[in-house]
Homo-oligomer: A and B are copies of this chain.
């Protein structure tokens, strides 16, 4: 894998890595509904504001969200809109797998 290809894969990986944390998923979930200021998100996530701010900078660096200052507040909105589709996909796949797992266990207990 040459350097250029690696850089490509790293940029893509950065997006998924940014989504790979419960608090950040919650934030994205919230931003799917409407834009929010940091204070809103802090209340929703329930961590320190500095922690939430760092989560937001991770999402921003990956290109997932976008920020805009309006007066003293900074508002965040979803930039990478298509992530919406990821969620439903992952959700349904995980449910399917849970169902398969369940079937497997049941087949074992009642042969």
The answer to whether A22 and B46 touch across the interface, beta carbons within 8 angstroms, is no
The answer to whether B90 and A15 touch across the interface, beta carbons within 8 angstroms, is yes
- Nearest chain B residue, comparing its CB with the CB of A46: B1
Contact-residue bracket for chain A: 35 or more
Q: Work out how many copies of this chain go into the complex.
A: 2
Within 8 Å CB of A6, what residues of B?
A: 22
The answer to whether B20 and A13 touch across the interface, beta carbons within 8 angstroms, is yes
Within 8 Å CB of A26, what residues of B?
A: 1, 9
**Binary B-proximity of A80-108 (CB < 8 A = 1, otherwise 0):** 10110111011101100100000000000
CB distance from A6 to the nearest CB of B (A): 6
CA distance A24 to B13 in the complex (A): 9
